[in-house]
Structure 1
Amino acid sequence: MKTSHRTNLVFLFDLVAPVFAWAVAFLLRFNFEWPYWYHSVIVAGLVVLVPIHAFACLWAGLYRGLWIFASLPDLKRVLRAVAMSSLALVAFVALYRGDLATPRSTMVLYPMLLVAWMAGGRVVYRMFKEHRLYGGLIAQGKPVVIVGAGRGGAMLVRELERSPDWRVVGLVDDDRNKWGREVLGCPVFGGIDRLPQVIESEKARHVILAMPSAATAIKRRAADLAVQAGAHVFTAPGLEDVMSGRVAISAIRPLEIDDLLGREEVEIDTGHVGAMLSGKTVLVTGAGGSIGGELCRQLARFGVGRLLLFESSEYALYALAEWFSANLPGVEIVPLAGDVKDSERLEEVFAVYRPQLVFHAAAYKHVPLMEVRNAWQAARNNVLGTLRVAECAQRWGAERFVLISTDKAVNPTNVMGATKRLAEMTCQALHARGGSTQFEMVRFGNVLGSTGSVIPKFQAQIARGGPVTVTDPEITRYFMSIPEAAQLVLQAASMGEGGEIFILDMGEPVKIADLARNMIRLSGYTEEDIRIEFRGLRPGEKLHEELLADAEATIETPHPKLRVVRSRPVADNFLEQLRAWLEQKGPVSDEAVRLALVNWVPEYTPYEGRPGLRVVAGTAVQPPGARGAARGA
């Protein structure tokens, strides 16, 4: 091992330790009067102790760390070296046969003085260096309050002490045992409810949440209090990420709305899912979309043999293939451009690659866009595309076909939802027809940050200075994260026995107006700075989404976040009639599509149009009777 000039100096410092400890032990024993008559014992002891101590320091690995970062691991190494030196002293005392016996008190004093010299020297050096490097930063930087006085909060305080940008003025924590105490010199003022008073009294305009493992409700409460007090809110990384070295504790970032809508971490039966996927050839349609792309990433975790990426958008397919090339080069992927309505392309793909599992995520999903002038395209893409992919899967003997559905298929009021319900019925009919392929369907609501979702839209509107547009003050939606949705889809697929419709636990619905207000505040603005405008429900939109139709009931599954829907059966001649309708020559008008969908999906209530709206001072005003029509749709 190479040694530097600085390492040699540290080694010499440690060699002085036994001399210091041995001499001072005698001084203490004889009340600071030097015992000349013990010279022979002192010299003999040093002849034995110094070389053994030198070996002990090297054996303990004392020269791996830098003194400026001296911490608990360095103390442990010091104690290992001291333990070996102390054993050497015990052996010396037992074996030495001089005129005078070695005082027994030295066996207690010697290790204590060794620790004081070696550990104390390192601590003093670190304090000196930190004061020299960071001492000038004290009382500088933006005052900040930390929420959470646990390990994460303590680590964050230590890191921020070295930053010229921040000055920790105190902490808050709901643990009463910490109130009135200090964390590395910073006071713990009280519980989270005291946050507004602390912000005001300490003139702080920044708050950092250092409790990544806390429940979402607690983080939301802390963020609401901080935002209402006019502070900017940040969050610190989790301890697991810090301990693993993936990120630094000081890598704080602004709190995002995803953090406040965050759900408990999903636990799936990885063994069961892995057994279903390991070594298999898996086809994902719509692979370039938000859900399809995340499904591909999750599938790669389970050691699939080959991943077929089927996508109609050239750029989305290219971007996903590049991501795999950069991040998971060991996964065998096959990028395949194609349309799910193209029978010849699908036949080619299934004939060449023989996928054993199919995840069908390709669909048109934007409700207002599909409602007007695009209804027939929604029906062909969402229903005919599902029918053709599913029939290919059944014809070529795929083990499983999993349809990614939506909560908008429940009592639909729009073309998109009705076509997704029709796609579910198509899979039910194909499963009832028999064969080796198991058909499963999975419904869930909105996913955070997905393409076309409300959160990126609000972010863009806030960045432009507003206004933020919301359809209705009372509108609510269910939300879940993209990774959570993808993992639960895989869990449902592994549990299915064929023909089931799974619904995911979407938690509590979120009021979109509240979501908009929180996003405005988290961005550092008030509603006076950025207005919220209510513009009325768009074509086909519901005020509240549902997860079950009136005629459906559910049964529990072994997984707490998954339930199975008991849905009504499909007629025997369903597929033949459906195929004839879908394969007719177009174009077909929106009205004709809606009339046909009413026949196929009895629970579908078509959108009939609503009166226009006018916006006054950020609030949408509807003509008389329009509100009732909106709610009744």
Structure 2
Amino acid sequence: MTHLLGRFLGLSRRTKRSLLVIADLIVAQVAIYSALMLRYGTLNPENVPSFGWPLFFAVLCISAVAAFGLRLDRVKLQSVEGRAVGNIAAFAILAAVGVSAFFHMTALPGPRSVPIIFAAFCFFGAAGYRLLALQIFQSFATGDSRKRVIIYGAGAAGIQLASALRAAAEARPMAFIDNNPNLRGLIIAGLDVHAPGRLRDLARKMKAEQVLIAIPSLEKPQLAKLVQEVRDVGLEVQVLPSYIDMMSGVVSTPQHRTVVPEELLGRDAVDLAHHEIDDAYEGRSIMVTGAGGSIGSELCRQLMNCKPKRIVLFERSEFALYSIDQDLKKLAAKRGIEIIPVLGSVTNKMRVSWAIAQYDVQVVLHAAAYKHVPLVEANELEGGRNNILGTMVVADAAIEAQIERFILVSTDKAVRPTNIMGATKRMAELVVQDRHTRSGRTVFSMVRFGNVLGSSGSVIPLFQKQIAAGGPVTVTDPEVTRYFMTIPEAARLVLLAGAYSEGGDVFVLDMGKPHKIIEIAKRMINLSGRSVKDVETGVGDIEIVTTGLRPGEKLFEELLIDNDTLGSTPHPKILRAQEYALSQEQVREMLNELGRCIRENIPHEFRNLVAHTVREYRPWKDVSKPTRSEDTERKDEARLSS
């Protein structure tokens, strides 16, 4: 059912309008048939004198003219109220008048009651199927994920708020609370009105999370008292501002606000909704390593919509595991999904193999990694242990258990790396490519991200803190550029890669052109309601300071090593590449040498191993400040636009 709704919602507006017109015409045909049968008291059309194709053809033409004249096809399902219902009533009346005129002009034996009965059937049929469709869409499209709210105040403001929330995907109005005893027990805007004393019971019964106070005329002392009463019940509370405050601008957008990461993309977010995702994960047991991280936790949240049988949260950080476990359990219980928190490291083969076997894992999404460039640069052996050996351990456990799919979360820093973090991720890719050649049943694939907006360690949280503190905002170099994507885009890309994978392939997202970090900083300052400080004049609020490139940091990132291998997928914005791999013997030697470096604690030899294994690796200290040539930029643009 969800697939069908998704496909309907994905239709063009013109197609949807055509379907609504067809539905209205069918309703009119059924209505005239029903009116005649009811008036003559028979189900046999032969007993009805006026029954025949001329009448039905006339009704078809009349109802089509009335529907187009009143523009019923342009009324969105979410707006079936007020004026829309009035238009449907007018449609029924006009169609009835047309039927009456048809009887008069053709001298057919049509009783005067037939048009009236026809109008009633026409109205209830046209309004009824729209309301039914609206209920189905709201139930299946948003499911139980909407926040349940109780509206305090059943007056005009409360009614308008309830109507607005019905068309929203974020919240679901459950009931009204009102002090007026004359309103209690009534149903207003489709919601029951209750006494304030029932708030605690209602919240528990309806599993409400928030109360919206919609009494704009309430005095401030009374409002403060009411807010405290709601908080004492244990519910969140928000207050609808008064009309006077809104008109005077008192409640306009705050001057200093937090910037949403999606505002900084400089492009539309990529729509990665695809039915293949549900097909690939529905009913399966899925393990996410690094489940408490930025990407891992979002993967788990999006998997909840795929109806898996079980999600195994594999995480080494106790607090991160606790947080994501608490975050998912409530929604998982409603959807019948089992959530299993497993505390452990991906470098512990026994623990990984036990988790896969114990919970019958069929798909592994490997997001566990050390990813902070300066930290891994200073702790290279631990970076190699976690990023390379951890990947090997999980991949080998996946092969032994003969699971269906293994997806490695990689990074654009693995392409021609100048830092140990990027090099370890490239070596992890080489391990996955090698394991693909040995696996019987398991399909291995990799996904390369650009910088993920809002993830831990990204520039966005840092800039937000610096702006909130009044500056300065620090940028390493004015010429630094990065590809950017949102956390939902990143997680969705991983899920789609698992669905599209043929084995050993690398998936990247077409993220448009790279952005200069300094421009991101300026945009964040402006969007937060402040201005960039001019160094010469001193005019402005927030100063931008350049600090110089950090160890291992590149001026620009790339997504592919070999552009010639680029291929397409069923999704136009997701690209597939087949890149060079090492032989099984070379990978075995690499892993043996890595193990020796870790055991003997010889980081300099590990760096030599990196330089020997990753042929594109150029140590940061050996890289003079690179400049991006026009030829390079043209190649990058051609790569993703072709």
TM-score interval w.r.t. the shorter chain?
Answer: 0.5 to 0.7
Distance 2:375 2:600 in 1: 17
1:400·1:438 contact (CA, 8 Å) conserved in 2? Answer: yes
Matched residue, 2:283: 279
Distance 1:84 1:466 in 2: 67
- Partner of residue 498 from structure 1, selected from 503, 513, 519: 503
CA-atom RMSD in angstroms:
3.5
Matched, 1:410 2:415: yes
| Cα deviation, residue 166, structure 1 | 3.8
Matched, 1:569 2:574: no
| 3-state SS in 1 of match to 2:243 | coil
| Cα deviation, residue 354, structure 1 | 2.4
Matched, 1:433 2:446: no
- Partner of residue 607 from structure 1, selected from 600, 610, 620: 620
Matched residue, 1:466: 471
CA 1:608–1:269: 2 relative to 1, 3 Å: same
Partner deviation per Cα, 1:402-444 (whole Å, 9 max, x = no partner): 0001000000000010000000000111111241111101111
Matched residue, 2:545: 533
| 3-state SS in 2 of match to 1:307 | strand
| Cα deviation, residue 561, structure 1 | 1.4
Matched, 1:72 2:83: yes
Matched residue, 2:369: 363
Question: Normalized against structure 1, the TM-score is what?
Answer: 0.59
1:556·1:562 contact (CA, 8 Å) conserved in 2? Answer: yes
Partner deviation per Cα, 1:85-114 (whole Å, 9 max, x = no partner): 999x99xxxxxxxxxxxxxxxxxxxxxxxx
| 3-state SS in 1 of match to 2:342 | strand
| Cα deviation, residue 261, structure 1 | 1.4
Distance 2:91 2:432 in 1: 67
Matched residue, 2:354: 348
Matched residue, 2:124: none
Question: Normalized against structure 2, the TM-score is what?
Answer: 0.58
2:261·2:453 contact (CA, 8 Å) conserved in 1? Answer: no
1:371·1:590 contact (CA, 8 Å) conserved in 2? Answer: no
2:332·2:339 contact (CA, 8 Å) conserved in 1? Answer: no
Distance 1:419 1:532 in 2: 32
| Cα deviation, residue 328, structure 1 | 3.2
CA 1:429–1:80: 2 relative to 1, 3 Å: closer
CA 1:85–1:446: 2 relative to 1, 3 Å: closer
2:452·2:486 contact (CA, 8 Å) conserved in 1? Answer: yes
Matched residue, 1:579: 591
CA 1:551–1:487: 2 relative to 1, 3 Å: closer
1:440·1:496 contact (CA, 8 Å) conserved in 2? Answer: yes
Matched residue, 1:376: 381
1:461·1:468 contact (CA, 8 Å) conserved in 2? Answer: yes
The one-letter code of the counterpart of 1:561 is K
Distance 1:409 1:440 in 2: 15
Distance 1:318 1:334 in 2: 11
CA 1:537–1:501: 2 relative to 1, 3 Å: same
| 3-state SS in 2 of match to 1:472 | coil
| Cα deviation, residue 530, structure 1 | 1.6
| Cα deviation, residue 78, structure 1 | 8.0
The one-letter code of the counterpart of 1:554 is L
| 3-state SS in 2 of match to 1:165 | helix
1:552·1:566 contact (CA, 8 Å) conserved in 2? Answer: no
| 3-state SS in 2 of match to 1:390 | helix
Matched residue, 1:24: none
Distance 2:615 2:287 in 1: 32
1:431·1:438 contact (CA, 8 Å) conserved in 2? Answer: yes
| Cα deviation, residue 260, structure 1 | 3.7
Partner deviation per Cα, 1:49-104 (whole Å, 9 max, x = no partner): xxxxxxxxxxxxxxxxxxxxx942574598699999999x99xxxxxxxxxxxxxx
The one-letter code of the counterpart of 2:499 is S
Matched residue, 2:322: 318
- Partner of residue 340 from structure 2, selected from 334, 337, 352: 334
Matched, 1:162 2:243: yes
Alignment of 1:51-200 (within 5 A): 71-72=82-83, 75=86, 162-167=243-248
CA 1:608–1:206: 2 relative to 1, 3 Å: farther
1:418·1:597 contact (CA, 8 Å) conserved in 2? Answer: yes
- Partner of residue 404 from structure 2, selected from 399, 412, 415: 399
CA 1:573–1:75: 2 relative to 1, 3 Å: same
- Partner of residue 307 from structure 1, selected from 311, 315, 323: 311
The one-letter code of the counterpart of 1:292 is G
Matched, 1:558 2:639: no
Partner deviation per Cα, 1:272-296 (whole Å, 9 max, x = no partner): 2222111111111001011111111
Higher helix fraction: Structure 1 or Structure 2?
A: 2
2:261·2:454 contact (CA, 8 Å) conserved in 1? Answer: no
| 3-state SS in 2 of match to 1:328 | helix
| 3-state SS in 2 of match to 1:301 | helix
Q: How many equivalent pairs are there?
A: 407
The one-letter code of the counterpart of 2:576 is V
| Cα deviation, residue 608, structure 1 | 1.8
CA 1:84–1:599: 2 relative to 1, 3 Å: closer
1:551·1:567 contact (CA, 8 Å) conserved in 2? Answer: no
The one-letter code of the counterpart of 1:556 is S
| 3-state SS in 2 of match to 1:605 | coil
The one-letter code of the counterpart of 1:468 is V
CA 1:587–1:515: 2 relative to 1, 3 Å: farther
CA 1:257–1:167: 2 relative to 1, 3 Å: farther
Structure 1 unaligned residues grouped into runs of 5+: 1-69, 91-124, 136-158, 169-204, 209-230, 234-252, 611-627
The one-letter code of the counterpart of 1:360 is H
Matched residue, 1:178: none
Matched residue, 1:446: 451
1:468·1:531 contact (CA, 8 Å) conserved in 2? Answer: yes
Matched residue, 1:543: 555
The one-letter code of the counterpart of 1:606 is P
Structure 2 unaligned residues grouped into runs of 5+: 1-80, 102-154, 161-214, 218-239, 534-540, 629-642
The one-letter code of the counterpart of 1:312 is R
- Partner of residue 477 from structure 1, selected from 468, 479, 482: 482
| 3-state SS in 2 of match to 1:443 | strand
Matched, 1:489 2:500: no
| Cα deviation, residue 578, structure 1 | 2.4
Distance 2:608 2:307 in 1: 46
Distance 1:551 1:266 in 2: 22
| Cα deviation, residue 304, structure 1 | 0.6
Matched residue, 2:606: 593
| Cα deviation, residue 464, structure 1 | 1.2
Partner deviation per Cα, 1:492-550 (whole Å, 9 max, x = no partner): 21111111111221221111101111111222222222211101100000000011125
Distance 2:345 2:241 in 1: 53
Matched residue, 1:221: none
| 3-state SS in 2 of match to 1:548 | coil
CA 1:71–1:570: 2 relative to 1, 3 Å: same
| Cα deviation, residue 262, structure 1 | 5.9
